[in-house]
Amino acid sequence: MGPTVDVVASSPALPERVDVVVIGGGIIGTSTALALAERGVSVALCEKGRIAGEQSSRNWGWVRRMGRDPRELPLVVESLKLWAAMHQTVGADVGYRTSGILYLCASEADVERRAEWLKMAGDYALDTRMVGGSELERLLPGAGRNFVGALYTESDGRAEPQAAAPAIARAAQARGAAVLTGCAVRGVETTGGRVSGVVTERGRIACSAVVLAGGAWSSLLCRHAGIRLPQLTVRASVLRTAPLDGPDGAAWAPGFAFRKRADGGYTVANGLSNRHDIGPDSFRYFRDFLPLLRMEWRHVDPRPGRPFFHPRHLAGKWRLDEPTPFEAVRVLDPDPVEGHLDKAWSSLVATFPEFGATRVVQRWAGLIDATPDTVPVISEATLPGFFIATGFSGHGFGIGPGAGRLMADLVTGSPPIVDPLPFRFSRYADGSAPKPYTGL
């Protein structure tokens, strides 16, 4: 069972027509809806389950620039500005704090690798620096082992995933957006070769543009629309603890990662391992993901898995007047990988003995939507009027507000907040070779 998420009341009526339909109520979809509504664009956000029911409420809660793919850095910097003003924008505290993040180095080789990122980041590194010795001891009190050094960004921070996207959705509602929960989009309609509407389980909504921000479901809905989107999922497991007077901020180390929660406890995860449940898409997109697999094979735990929708839907074929996979599974709620969490907890307690004085109160998992180059798609697709914002590869929570702003720019034809070229959908069809960057 996933964490408890703040509730967003569904808008009462299905609009007949809007300018834009946003599909998906996670951090990306809600941020896009808010950015559009702020410009006076009429928008309906359709979520098959509940707002932030999937990975947007199940992630670590990190809001970081440090260690990002250099192609993402301009957008991350803009997103951090939006996070800093979020409490004013949405009129609620979403737990955002600039408490700093540490990437701990267990060896000199780790130090060299982190220092290399500083060189690549250039001016976008801002206040990130290497630390060690007494400064690291001050930043990481209570550590029972010595680390060679750490990459540290004081201006990086954290927020509360169970509160953020719901608060953003309510802010979009307050600005006129329709937020429809329990309302799956079954498919997209076209007229004259471009988007003209969507069919939901509750009826049709006419529109001139659609933004697909469906997370793990995006590739399937694209397939139904005749669009090939190479995307796979990895299952990331997380636990939370009871309150503890321990280190503030957040840190990553080989074997564990943690961040302080607003409730006084900690969110803890494995610093290295995630599981990939092997299914039909694993073979469908094998060649696309082969370069990434070669880089990350030590950190991916592949196991035969069960598809989370009925096998007859694997090809993306269904009628719009019948129930779809999106109605069959309202909320993806995979089981956590207990072995990954047990190792993370043991490693954390061995490093910080004080954690042995508290208890684990909940464990959960979520599915991260990944692309072959680990860079998201924020772009119009091959179908005019059909925009995609997905494949954030574990970076979606922190980058979400900036991604929503960029997508609103693209949909409305406004000057983009950053250069959208790295996020173009066409890179999967124009012969560009995937160039993954993991930051590990």
258 in a domain, yes or no? yes
Provide mean pLDDT across the span 201-229: 96
Q: Which residues pair with 271 in a beta bridge?
A: none
The reported pLDDT for the residue numbered 313 is 61
The reported pLDDT for the residue numbered 439 is 65
The reported pLDDT for the residue numbered 119 is 92
Mean residue pLDDT of the chain comes to: 93
The reported pLDDT for the residue numbered 297 is 67
172 in a domain, yes or no? yes
267 in a domain, yes or no? yes
Which tokens sit at 153?
């960004």
Structural contact between residues 34 and 177, judged by C-beta atoms closer than 8 angstroms: yes
Structural contact between residues 39 and 177, judged by C-beta atoms closer than 8 angstroms: no
Which tokens sit at 147?
């680390």
Query: How many Å apart are CA 394 and CA 56, to the nearest integer?
Result: 10
131 in a domain, yes or no? no
Query: How many Å apart are CA 72 and CA 332, to the nearest integer?
Result: 27
CA 277 → CA 233, 274, 361, distances in Å? 8, 10, 26
Whether the per-residue pLDDT at 314 is higher than 80: the answer is no
Q: Who contacts 176 (Cβ-Cβ below 8 Å, separation ≥6)? A: 37, 42, 43
The reported pLDDT for the residue numbered 435 is 79
pLDDT in tens, 219-264: 999 999 999 999 999 999 999 999 999 988 999 998 999 999 999 9
59 in a domain, yes or no? yes
Q: Who contacts 331 (Cβ-Cβ below 8 Å, separation ≥6)? A: 2, 49, 50, 53, 54
Domain hosting 413: range is 20-100+155-428
pLDDT in tens, 340-384: 999 999 999 999 999 999 999 999 999 999 999 999 999 999 999
44 vs 311, which has greater pLDDT?
A: 44
The reported pLDDT for the residue numbered 126 is 86
3-class DSSP state for residue 252? strand
Whether the per-residue pLDDT at 296 is higher than 70: the answer is yes
416 in a domain, yes or no? yes
Query: How many Å apart are CA 349 and CA 351, to the nearest integer?
Result: 5
Query: How many Å apart are CA 310 and CA 173, to the nearest integer?
Result: 33
176 in a domain, yes or no? yes
> Residue holding tokens 């080789």?
109
Number of structural domains the chain divides into: 1
| C-alpha closest to that of 103 among 142, 70, 129 | 129
At 316, the pLDDT band (50, 70, 90 cuts) reads confident
pLDDT in tens, 112-156: 999 999 999 999 888 999 999 999 999 998 887 789 999 999 999
Q: Who contacts 307 (Cβ-Cβ below 8 Å, separation ≥6)? A: 279, 280, 314
> Residue holding tokens 């990002």?
68
The reported pLDDT for the residue numbered 304 is 84
Whether the per-residue pLDDT at 204 is higher than 70: the answer is yes
The reported pLDDT for the residue numbered 315 is 66
The reported pLDDT for the residue numbered 432 is 76
Q: Who contacts 14 (Cβ-Cβ below 8 Å, separation ≥6)? A: 44, 178, 180, 183, 200, 202, 203, 205
Number of helices (H), then strands (E), in the chain: 13, 21
pTM over 0.85: yes
Query: For position 244, which CATH number holds?
Result: 3.50.50.60
Query: How many Å apart are CA 305 and CA 243, to the nearest integer?
Result: 35
115 in a domain, yes or no? no
Kindly report the number of other CB atoms within 10 A of residue 419's CB atom.
11
